[in-house]
Amino acid sequence: MRVPLLLVFYFVVATSLFAQSVSSSTIRGTITAGEQVLPGATVTLINTRFGTATDSAGVFQLADVPTGTYQLSVSLVGYDSYRKSVRLMAGQSVQLSISLREAANNLNEVVVTGARATELRKSPVAIAVITRKEMNLNANTNAVDAVLKGVPGLSAVTTGPNVSKPFIRGLGYNRVLTLYNGVRQEGQQWGDEHGIEVDQYGIERAEVIKGPASLIYGSDAVAGVINFIPYIPRGAEGKVNGDVVGEYHTNNGMIGTSAGLSYTKNGWKAAFRASNKLATAYTNPVDGRVYGTGYRELNLSAMTGVEKRWGSSFLYATLYNNLQEIPDGSRDSLTRRFTRQVLESDQDDIRQRPLVPENELRTYRINPLHQHIQHSRLFTRNRFLIGKSDLSVLAGFQQSVRREYNHPTVPEQPGLYVRLNTINYEVKYNLPIWRGFEPTLGVNGMYQTNKNLNGTDFPIPDYALLDIGSFLFVKKTIGAVDISGGMRYDTRSVDWGNQYVQNNPATGFDQLVYSPTSATATPQFAAYSRSFTGMSGSLGATYNISERLLVKANLSRGYRAPNITEIGSNGLDPGARIVYLGNRNFQPEFSLQTDIGFIGYLNDMDVSVELFNNVIDNYIYQARLYDDAGQPVVIVPGNFTYQYQQSKAQLYGAEFSLNLHPRTSRWLTINNSLALIRGLNRNPQLIELEGDAARYLPFIPPLHGRSEIRATFGREKARLSGLYVRAELDYYGAQNRFYGVDNTETATPGYALVNAGFGGTINNRQNRPLLQLFFQVDNLFNVAYQSHLNRLKYFEYYTASPTGRFGIYNVGRNASVKVIVPF
């Protein structure tokens, strides 16, 4: 009976498949805006798995759609969304021609960063969205720079062109949480000498939350969140789509290349991208070429998964590999030419170092003294549709390996060598809407282990960390008011055992051990075990005065547990030339921030005003360590010694934007923004002892204004389209409110930079893009300046200078060209 039963089974299956093929239909169409075709528009059948994006000619196709009536949805950033009811008959092929209207504003844009996807207009929290299109208009050397140029209140502490640490409203490091597609980025964030391990060419858009986001993300989001969202496969079904990017910068000879491929069919999606950057030392009119600022960077990323009626499941993998030189700022005292370390003892006698030859300043070869950073991640994002609710599950693993090579006589021996392993997890359940309430329950966190490997310097211990937090988030619309908020409880456990330093006869350097075998071994890290807990939450509302006028207000409490350096550090960070000492008695930071905002999208202009006030208890900062006689403590000769302190702090400020787009001159756009931040140290004892030098917080950006005028012209259906010319004034005020204790910071003069650029798209005879071209000149007049957040400003070995200038200056004039070839 087995054979007849198999025949019956195959007959039933074949009949079912045949019936499905007969009853299925196809929807084809073109998306335009007037005469302009719109590539990249998202086309979906609501509440189904069917969805795609238009190709370079604005064409889309949805195949094998069962018969029935559907709601077709079309959306694209910068245009009003479109919906249409479509009825499909068996075997029918429907041809559509849809024209979108340019949006008067982006308030209806949906953002995914947070508890659940929501429209910008409904969020009481300040959120900014930067698209790939806006990023391409600027010359960027890393992912952070690509975002901060378009967001008032966002800045970066830098150590050369490729090292940027994001700051939001005066707070950074472990107070800003960086995400990659919703997964928290875990490297050695406490370090100054490396940036965020994200491929700038693989970012489709970035969403920035300005203000505490501890409610959803827990510790380390006390200042805000930057979510880098990677490229999503799109284009015609069953066809390979992709692009090739080439970029060149004249200042440091930076050569950037990237190539991406994507494929989608029947709900299955896949994408792959490979990117590479290499650069020599950068130059400016004061220092010439700055020794130790070259780099090489390689990025690989891939994703695959399915999107069906039951939901979706995707797997992502990335690999980041960066060789980054380490500048130390040593020079000849008379000529101010840079010198280099050649002996281990050279730190004690800086004047014995030889001058750096000119050929070593212009080479793409990486100096022997450099750092090697490797970061890899593998994670899966899953969404399951359960009736009128949905469940999201995220799980991932990432590893960060960081080496700093600082031994000139033994260049293959790393000074710092640490490996950080992190397991991330998150479960979110969006409950069905009940009486207008949209509740979300969630739990997320991480398990983390750090290991010192074959290094010779040990600033932080081997440790284990467990984070777990649960939250409830609810939003509801009552008439013209959108209300949202919730509560969260977090627990972080950190522990490590006794660790010692003893000499390793095989290498001649020190090594870190748990069980010393030598009588000369010294204790490095005493055993530690502690749990930190905290409550956080937020409550906010948006009042829709009209479709174009909004008022927002939000009150949020943030929470941050001390990071590993703040509680456990006891050693030299060779790249920073600082000995860090932690404080084992620290309490978590808690912030209370008030935000008020006004947004108006009028016919000829957009205007926004955002005010904030943030009060932080147990704020942690660095301070020089002194002995009882008032003399600086020196543990490692030639290096400063800092110990972390806690006090109360306050940050407040305002951000303004005024963007003009007159209807009578649609080719013209004038964008203006202004950001002002003040950071106050509320430690009365320190202020009484040190006076005005202790009145302010470190790393507070000065007044920052940006104005851009852009002209766009040319017919869209032509061999040249999307032509633009732009000019920009980037203004930074003087920063005379700084943390001056122990000369930690000094005053910084104001400066203004002029930038200019042009570009456009070259099309073939069928009006399909052949390539996009972007040309940009930054710091057009080659102004010599020092950013207040530039760490190289303080890389100085002498108290006198023949030129009267101290420290290292920022990048001089830089012309760049970028070409993108889609296919």
Q: What is the CATH number of the domain that holds 251?
A: 2.40.170.20
* Neighbouring C-beta atoms of residue 2, cutoff 10 Å: 6
Token readout for 185 is 């980025």
Q: What is the mean pLDDT of the chain?
A: 88
133 SS3 class: helix
Q: Looking at the structure, tell me whether residues 126 and 61 fall in a common domain.
A: no
Token readout for 571 is 């050693």
Boundary (domain end) residue, out of 226, 251, 286:
226
Q: Looking at the structure, tell me whether residues 488 and 500 fall in a common domain.
A: yes
Q: Per-residue pLDDT for 797 more than 80?
A: yes
Q: Looking at the structure, tell me whether residues 328 and 383 fall in a common domain.
A: yes
DSSP H helices, 264-404, are: 358-361
How would you class 89 by CB atoms within 10 Å of its CB: exposed for 0-12, middle for 13-18, buried for 19 or more? exposed
Q: Per-residue pLDDT for 393 more than 80?
A: yes
CA distances from 674 to 655, 669, 701, 731 (A): 6, 17, 12, 9
Residue with tokens 């075997």: 91
Q: Looking at the structure, tell me whether residues 90 and 168 fall in a common domain.
A: no
CATH number of the domain encompassing residue 214: 2.170.130.10
Encoded amino acid at 676, one letter? L
Strand pairing partners for 756?
A: 727, 777
CATH number of the domain encompassing residue 50: 2.60.40.10
Q: Per-residue pLDDT for 9 more than 50?
A: no
Cβ 809 vs Cβ 787: under 8 Å: no
Q: What is the pLDDT of residue 133?
A: 87
Identify whether 9 is part of a domain. Answer: no
Q: What is the pLDDT of residue 23?
A: 54
Residue with tokens 């992709």: 242
Q: What is the pLDDT of residue 576?
A: 60
Cβ 556 vs Cβ 590: under 8 Å: no
Strand pairing partners for 434?
A: 437
For the chain, how are helix, strand and coil distributed in percent, rounded to 5?
10, 55, 35
pLDDT band at 622 (very low <50, low <70, confident <90, very high): confident
DSSP H helices, 569-718, are: 684-690
Q: Looking at the structure, tell me whether residues 91 and 153 fall in a common domain.
A: no
Three state DSSP letters for 54-96: CCCCCEEEEEEECCEEEEEEEECCCECCEEEEEEECCCCEEEE
Which letter does DSSP use for residue 584 in this model? T
Q: Which residue has the higher pLDDT, 232 or 132?
A: 132
Q: Per-residue pLDDT for 25 more than 90?
A: no
Q: How far is 246 from 772, CA to CA, in rounded Å?
A: 11
Identify whether 791 is part of a domain. Answer: yes
Q: Which among 470, 598, 596 is positioned nearest to 540, based on CA atoms?
A: 596
In sequence order, what are the residues at sequence separation of 6 or more whose Cβ sits closer than 8 angstroms to the Cβ of residue 771? 761, 762, 819, 820, 821, 822
134 SS3 class: helix
Q: How far is 570 from 583, CA to CA, in rounded Å?
A: 10
Residue with tokens 């986001």: 213
Q: Looking at the structure, tell me whether residues 590 and 605 fall in a common domain.
A: yes
**In the chain, what percentage of residues exceed pLDDT 90?**
58
Q: Per-residue pLDDT for 15 more than 60?
A: no
Which letter does DSSP use for residue 101 in this model? P
Q: Looking at the structure, tell me whether residues 207 and 247 fall in a common domain.
A: no
Boundary (domain end) residue, out of 73, 99, 125:
99
pLDDT band at 11 (very low <50, low <70, confident <90, very high): very low
Q: Looking at the structure, tell me whether residues 454 and 530 fall in a common domain.
A: yes
Q: Looking at the structure, tell me whether residues 599 and 747 fall in a common domain.
A: yes
Q: How far is 145 from 166, CA to CA, in rounded Å?
A: 9
What are all long-range contacts of 599-602, with beta carbons under 8 Å and residues at least 24 apart? 599/107, 599/549, 599/550, 599/551, 599/552, 600/548, 600/549, 600/550, 601/104, 601/105, 601/107, 601/548, 601/549, 602/548
Q: Which among 81, 71, 66, 70 is positioned nearest to 31, based on CA atoms?
A: 81
Which has the minimum average pLDDT: 102-106, 304-308, 503-507? 102-106
pLDDT band at 348 (very low <50, low <70, confident <90, very high): low
pLDDT band at 49 (very low <50, low <70, confident <90, very high): low
Q: Which residue has the higher pLDDT, 652 or 127?
A: 652
Q: Per-residue pLDDT for 77 more than 70?
A: no
Identify whether 735 is part of a domain. Answer: yes
* Neighbouring C-beta atoms of residue 708, cutoff 10 Å: 19
Q: What is the pLDDT of residue 625?
A: 76
Q: Provide the pairing of β-strand 203-210 with 183-184.
A: unpaired
Q: What is the pTM of this model?
A: 0.87
Supply the Cα-derived Rg of the chain in whole angstroms.
28
Q: What is the pLDDT of residue 75?
A: 77
pLDDT band at 78 (very low <50, low <70, confident <90, very high): low
Q: What is the pLDDT of residue 345?
A: 67
CA distance from start to end of the chain? 55
Cβ 205 vs Cβ 155: under 8 Å: no
Mean pLDDT of all residues in 570-583 = 73
**Total number of domains constituting the chain:** 3
Q: Per-residue pLDDT for 239 more than 80?
A: yes
Identify whether 1 is part of a domain. Answer: no
Buried b vs exposed e over 206-239: b needs ≥16 C-beta within 10 Å? bbbbbbbbbbbbbbbbbbbbbbbbbbbbbbbbee
Q: Which domain holds residue 369?
A: 227-822
Q: What is the pLDDT of residue 56?
A: 63
Identify whether 4 is part of a domain. Answer: no
pLDDT band at 717 (very low <50, low <70, confident <90, very high): low
Q: What is the pLDDT of residue 3?
A: 45
Boundary (domain end) residue, out of 76, 99, 122:
99
Identify whether 105 is part of a domain. Answer: no
Q: Per-residue pLDDT for 22 more than 60?
A: no
Strand pairing partners for 817?
A: 248, 775
Identify whether 581 is part of a domain. Answer: yes
Q: What is the pLDDT of residue 768?
A: 82
Q: Looking at the structure, tell me whether residues 182 and 251 fall in a common domain.
A: no
Three state DSSP letters for 434-469: ECCEEEEEEEEEEEEEEEECCCCCCCCCCEEEEEEE
Q: How far is 193 from 15, CA to CA, in rounded Å?
A: 64
Q: What is the pLDDT of residue 14?
A: 43
pLDDT band at 574 (very low <50, low <70, confident <90, very high): low
Q: Per-residue pLDDT for 156 more than 90?
A: yes
Q: How far is 183 from 199, CA to CA, in rounded Å?
A: 15
Q: Per-residue pLDDT for 203 more than 90?
A: yes
Q: What is the pLDDT of residue 188?
A: 87
Q: How far is 601 from 586, CA to CA, in rounded Å?
A: 46
In sequence order, what are the residues at sequence separation of 6 or more whose Cβ sits closer than 8 angstroms to the Cβ of residue 639? 347, 572, 577, 578, 579
Identify whether 789 is part of a domain. Answer: yes
Q: Looking at the structure, tell me whether residues 91 and 159 fall in a common domain.
A: no
* Neighbouring C-beta atoms of residue 674, cutoff 10 Å: 16
Cβ 62 vs Cβ 42: under 8 Å: no
Q: What is the pLDDT of residue 102?
A: 67
* Neighbouring C-beta atoms of residue 268, cutoff 10 Å: 13
Which has the minimum average pLDDT: 186-195, 227-236, 306-315, 342-351? 342-351
Q: What angle do CA 790, 794, 797 make, to 5 degrees?
A: 150
pLDDT band at 482 (very low <50, low <70, confident <90, very high): very high
Token readout for 515 is 């069980």
Q: Looking at the structure, tell me whether residues 769 and 787 fall in a common domain.
A: yes
How many helices and strands in the chain, by DSSP H and E?
7, 47
Which has the minimum average pLDDT: 3-12, 127-136, 293-302, 713-722? 3-12
In sequence order, what are the residues at sequence separation of 6 or more whose Cβ sits closer than 8 angstroms to the Cβ of residue 799? none
Q: Which among 456, 383, 447 is positioned nearest to 414, based on CA atoms?
A: 456
CA distances from 620 to 193, 267, 308 (A): 20, 48, 48
pLDDT band at 783 (very low <50, low <70, confident <90, very high): very high
Q: Provide the pairing of β-strand 268-279 with 255-265.
A: antiparallel
> Which range among 57-61, 307-311, 450-454 has the greatest average pLDDT?
450-454
